[in-house]
């Protein structure tokens, strides 16, 4: 091992202790029965409480991009990048609109996977295949990006003593172990803790910046910045209004992805979702985005002017400005950000493939034990493939990562049909998603963001056109099925609203 500094040694041992803790939680949840049944393994026995689920949802949403990407883009783009943060309230509202309704449906019909919900409502087994396709297109690239980030971060924090490949292998192995042991239960418990750690890490980065340049100095100095940093489209010329708002909508659509449907099925009570949306997300994460990120990005521009690569801002702040104890806290926060996102998408891939392909299509008589082991094998395969992508196909990861949220956005019309609009049809939902996926790819990979509109929105517009065309030219689900869903949602929402009103008094 090459000679490294005290900071790097302490970081290495802290990371080892942190990862041992993650594995210990996986063993603990397994011993407590997290793998006793498919319901326990796939949706944590529908028993996740307010703190655990609230912070787990937050941690799954906030990847390493929160600590590495946002600060660099604020540095490069300037204050116009703040407009993009409108996705924070968008996501809060979206969560309120969909999570409780999905919970009601999942509990009533005992759904364990998103594919079960879509196929049951639309009375179409083809929906399972489409949802599985979207899940893998979304989860594998995102997991691969986290492994790439882990390799990069670990190599940086240990000053090259742990090379990129080994950093990615170690993280993949740790996440794999605790996900395979405890399923959604261990993933949620660890993600909740990691959510706290990554927020603490952000506060630590901001503290380091403000210890060297005050908030007042940042505001005063900003007046002498290049005017491009203060007006649209920003210092890098990217943030046109159309692009910024369409990207914000696409980012909000992360909540439509199957991972968050599984989180909604796993809640103990729908009362959790209001707290998660308004307190954890809008208030806490809103403060992180709207206060900490600008201070770090603009403060970083003062402290480290003329950076050639703006994504090195956070590592620079850590290595140049932090005492060893803060360096360790922020470093663990970085690793936590990547662990939490990767774990959430790994378990989602396992649930979908086990329930919607293996059990639904290949072996309907499969026992819970079989389904759990099938999901474990799928998770292992997903991790191996994601690792291969992170090491062999790195030049394409940015492409796939950018497309991931665009692909998740294409679930919006189909989900509206399940939760709200009874005229929606199986053909419209399926063909709309498939057309949307193709158009999203073309408007990123071939014609990049026509008219400065994000590819997710081009895909969604094509998707909606197909969705509405078939809504009026093909048969919707049977009236009995539609009425059944209406009754579940009406009675459930009435009961939920009465509970909320009683709590408000």
What span, in angstroms and rounded, lies between the C-alpha atoms of 292 and 282? 14
H helices present in 309-425, as ranges: 313-321, 324-352, 368-392, 397-409, 412-419
What span, in angstroms and rounded, lies between the C-alpha atoms of 408 and 45? 26
8 A C-beta contact, residue 212 and residue 51: no
Which class for 89: exposed (0-12), middle (13-18), buried (19 or more C-beta within 10 A)?
middle
Residues 6+ apart with CB under 8 A from 358: 366, 370, 371, 374
Domains annotated on the chain, with CATH: 6-22+50-409 (1.20.1730.10)
Residue with tokens 């319901």: 39
304 φ, ψ to 5°?
-130, 75
Dihedral in degrees, nearest 10, Cα atoms 477, 482, 485, 490: 150
List beta partners, residue 267: 48
pLDDT at residue number 157: 80
CA–chain centroid gap for 470, Å, is 31
Dihedral in degrees, nearest 10, Cα atoms 263, 170, 293, 454: -60
C-alpha pair distances (Å), 85 with each of 7, 205, 207, 416? 34, 19, 21, 24
What span, in angstroms and rounded, lies between the C-alpha atoms of 62 and 70? 11
The closest of 185, 181, 192 to 23, measured between CA atoms, is 181
- How many helices (H) and strands (E) would you count in the chain? 23, 0
pLDDT at residue number 305: 86
What span, in angstroms and rounded, lies between the C-alpha atoms of 218 and 220? 6
List beta partners, residue 48: 267
pLDDT at residue number 215: 83
- For 269, the 3-state DSSP assignment is coil
Q: Specify the DSSP element, H or E, that contains 395.
A: none
8 A C-beta contact, residue 239 and residue 232: yes
pLDDT at residue number 313: 87
Residue ranges of the chain with pLDDT lower than 50? 1
Tokens of 186: 């261990």
Which class for 23: exposed (0-12), middle (13-18), buried (19 or more C-beta within 10 A)?
middle
pLDDT at residue number 1: 47
What span, in angstroms and rounded, lies between the C-alpha atoms of 395 and 402? 13
């Amino acid at each position: 091992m090459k000679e490294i500094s005290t900071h790097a040694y302490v970081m290495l041992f802290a990371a080892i202790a942190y990862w041992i803790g993650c594995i210990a939680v996986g063993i603990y949840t397994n011993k407590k029965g997290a793998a006793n049944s498919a319901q326990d393994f796939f949706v944590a026995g529908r028993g996740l409480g307010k703190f655990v689920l609230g912070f787990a949802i937050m941690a799954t949403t906030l990847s390493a991009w929160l600590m590495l990407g946002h600060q660099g883009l604020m540095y490069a783009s300037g204050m116009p990048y703040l407009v993009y943060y409108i996705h924070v309230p968008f996501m809060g509202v979206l969560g309120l609109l969909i999570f409780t309704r999905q919970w009601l449906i999942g509990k009533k019909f005992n759904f364990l996977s998103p594919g079960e919900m879509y196929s049951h409502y639309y009375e179409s087994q083809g929906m399972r295949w489409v949802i599985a396709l979207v899940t893998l297109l979304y989860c594998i690239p995102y997991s691969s990006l986290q492994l790439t980030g882990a390799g990069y971060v670990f190599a940086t924090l240990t000053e090259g003593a742990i090379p990129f490949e080994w950093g990615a292998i170690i993280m993949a192995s740790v996440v794999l172990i605790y996900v395979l042991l405890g399923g959604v239960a261990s993933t949620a418990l660890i993600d909740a803790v990691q959510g706290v750690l990554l927020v603490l890490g952000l506060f630590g980065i901001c503290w380091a910046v403000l210890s060297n340049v005050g908030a007042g100095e940042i505001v005063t100095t900003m007046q002498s910045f290049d005017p491009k940093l203060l007006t649209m489209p920003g210092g890098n010329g990217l943030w046109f209004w159309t692009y910024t708002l369409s990207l914000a909508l696409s980012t909000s659509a992360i909540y439509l992805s199957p991972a968050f449907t599984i989180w909604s099925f796993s809640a103990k009570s729908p009362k959790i979702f209001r707290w998660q949306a308004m307190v954890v997300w809008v208030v806490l994460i809103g403060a992180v985005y709207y206060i900490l990120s600008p201070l770090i990005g603009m403060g970083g521009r003062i402290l480290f002017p003329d950076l050639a690569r703006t994504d090195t801002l956070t590592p620079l702040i850590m290595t140049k400005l932090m005492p060893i104890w803060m360096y360790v806290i922020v470093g663990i926060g970085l690793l936590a950000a990547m662990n939490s996102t990767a774990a959430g998408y790994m378990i989602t891939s396992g649930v979908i493939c086990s329930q919607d392909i293996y059990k639904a299509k290949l072996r309907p008589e499969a026992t819970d034990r079989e389904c759990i082991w099938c999901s474990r094998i799928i998770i292992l395969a997903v991790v191996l493939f994601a690792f291969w992508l992170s090491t062999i196909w790195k030049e394409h990861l940015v492409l796939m990562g950018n497309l991931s949220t665009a692909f998740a956005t294409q679930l919006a019309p189909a989900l509206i049909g399940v939760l709200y609009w009874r005229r929606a049809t199986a053909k419209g939902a399926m063909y709309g998603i498939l057309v949307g996926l193709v158009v999203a790819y073309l408007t990123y990979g071939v014609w990049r963001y026509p008219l400065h509109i994000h590819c997710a929105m081009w895909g969604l517009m094509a998707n909606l056109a197909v969705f509405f065309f078939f809504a009026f030219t093909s048969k919707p689900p049977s009236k009995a099925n539609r009425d059944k869903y209406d009754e579940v949602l009406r009675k459930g929402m009435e009961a939920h609203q009465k509970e909320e009103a009683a709590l408000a008094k």
